């Protein structure tokens, strides 16, 4: 008989539905610390566009895996798994409870599914060349390349998911073999966790309204100045971090390719598209308990979530 899996809980859901607010209320009630599962909040200096939790809230509830990499760094799913596993162990060793929170599905799949024991190769120059190619010829051109070189991977990712398209091609050009080959033949380990997902949702029209409000608020708070500072310090669109929603649109505004209104409009449109993709992904996650925050009072939801977590973790 194998070692029992450790119970752990993750608060998931699409963008702009209120996961952060729920986690800030839940964490103190379970003596928990938040482990961020967000592929953009790992980057330093990128605060407004990633809608990071405030420093005041981070003093109230400890957050991990926020501000752990510079924007020119490559933060892979394998690296996330390595750091998340280490963080989970340290939190438990201090007799606290880890609470995973965020909306990056492939990080969850990597942590709770089978994962390669070694990271795949990366090459900044190859990645920069691919991003430039995408800028000139479009995402569709790179996606067709991926279909040729790694058809298995192409079937699993969205044609608009430029980050993963570029990563797949980067692995192929750097190693000579597709990423799907490495996954099939590389040494893997199984997840040691028994996860319960807590899903936070809102009706689409409500989420869309919140997406629009948040984007406008980010522009008012200084997103353009944040991106201008990043570009001034050499953190430009060569790097995956700067291809994230909001940042890529503002970069194009600062390069004279978009007006400010166009940048905001395209940002909102892309974020709504992300919301739809995230809903598709998260519907496949199991076991999961869903909470629609338009149908249930937030305080009632928090109380119920706390009870579910304690039950899952065997806490009386």
Task: Tell me the per-residue pLDDT of 86-144, one tens digit each, with 9 for 90 and over.
Answer: 999 999 999 999 999 999 998 999 899 865 545 666 777 888 888 888 888 988 999 99
pLDDT over 80 (residue 25): yes
- pLDDT (0 to 100) of residue 186: 66
* CATH, range 124-185: 1.10.20.140
What is the three-class DSSP state of 279?
Answer: helix
**Residue 17 assigned ligand-binding role:** yes
**Residue 15 assigned ligand-binding role:** yes
pLDDT over 80 (residue 312): yes
6-117+190-210+276-313 and 124-185 share one fold: no
pLDDT band at 187 (very low <50, low <70, confident <90, very high): low
Read off the pLDDT of residues 204-214 as tens digits, 9 standing for 90 and up: 999 999 999 99
**Residue 71 neighbours by CB distance under 10 Å:** 21
- pLDDT (0 to 100) of residue 156: 84
**Residue 163 assigned ligand-binding role:** no
**Residue 113 assigned ligand-binding role:** no
pLDDT band at 189 (very low <50, low <70, confident <90, very high): low
* Rounded-to-integer distance, Cα 117 and Cα 81, Å: 10
> What's the pTM value of the predicted model, to 2 decimals?
0.82
Choice among 8-12, 104-108, 161-165 with the minimum mean pLDDT? 161-165
SS (H, E, C) 180-243: HHHHHHCCEECCCEEEEEEEEECCHHHHHHHHHHHHHHHHHHCHHHHHHHHHHCCCCCCCHHHH
* Rounded-to-integer distance, Cα 242 and Cα 244, Å: 5
- pLDDT (0 to 100) of residue 114: 61
Read off the pLDDT of residues 213-233 as tens digits, 9 standing for 90 and up: 999 999 999 999 999 999 999
**Residue 203 assigned ligand-binding role:** no
**Residue 13 assigned ligand-binding role:** yes
- pLDDT (0 to 100) of residue 98: 98
- pLDDT (0 to 100) of residue 143: 93
Q: Which architecture, in CATH terms, is 6-117+190-210+276-313?
A: 3-Layer(aba) Sandwich (3.40)
**Residue 18 assigned ligand-binding role:** yes
User: Which residue ranges make up each domain of the chain?
Assistant: 6-117+190-210+276-313, 124-185
5 vs 302, residue with greater confidence: 302
DSSP H or E segment with residue 9: strand 6-12
**Residue 14 assigned ligand-binding role:** yes
- pLDDT (0 to 100) of residue 246: 97
Read off the pLDDT of residues 229-278 as tens digits, 9 standing for 90 and up: 999 999 998 888 999 999 999 999 999 999 999 999 999 999 999 999 99
Provide the mean pLDDT of the chain: 92
Nearest to 173 by CA among 133, 135, 127: 127
C-alpha of 8 from chain center: 18
Whether the ω angle into residue 287 lies within 30 degrees of 0, i.e. cis, is yes
């Amino acid at each position: 008989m194998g070692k029992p899996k450790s119970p752990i809980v993750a608060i998931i859901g699409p963008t702009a539905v209120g996961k952060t607010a729920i986690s800030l209320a839940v964490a103190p009630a379970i003596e928990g610390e938040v482990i961020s599962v967000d592929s953009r909040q790992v980057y330093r200096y990128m605060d407004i566009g990633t809608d990071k939790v405030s420093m005041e809230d981070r003093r109230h509830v400890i957050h991990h895996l926020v501000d752990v990499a510079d924007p020119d760094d490559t933060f892979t799913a394998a690296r996330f798994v390595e750091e998340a596993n280490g963080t989970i162990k340290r939190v438990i060793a201090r007799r606290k409870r880890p609470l995973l929170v965020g909306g990056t599905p492939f990080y969850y799949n990597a942590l709770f599914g089978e994962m390669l024991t070694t990271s795949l190769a990366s090459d900044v120059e190859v990645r920069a060349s691919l991003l430039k190619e995408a800028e000139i010829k479009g995402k569709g051109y790179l996606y067709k390349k991926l279909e040729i070189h790694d058809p298995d991977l192409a079937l699993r990712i969205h044609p608009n998911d430029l980050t993963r398209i570029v990563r797949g091609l980067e692995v192929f050009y750097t190693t000579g073999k597709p990423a799907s080959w490495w996954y099939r033949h590389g040494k893997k380990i199984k997840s040691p966790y028994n996860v319960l997902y807590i899903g936070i949702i809102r009706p689409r029209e409500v989420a869309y309204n919140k997406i629009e409000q948040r984007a406008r608020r980010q522009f008012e708070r200084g997103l353009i100045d944040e991106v201008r500072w990043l570009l001034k310090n050499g953190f430009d669109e060569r790097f995956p971090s700067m291809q994230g929603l909001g940042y890529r649109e503002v970069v194009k505004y600062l390069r004279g390719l978009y007006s400010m209104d166009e940048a905001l409009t395209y940002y909102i449109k892309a974020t709504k598209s992300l919301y739809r993709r995230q809903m598709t992904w998260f519907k496949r996650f199991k076991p999961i308990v869903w909470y629609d925050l338009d149908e249930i009072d937030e305080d009632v939801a928090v109380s119920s979530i706390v009870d579910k977590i304690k039950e899952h973790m065997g806490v009386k």
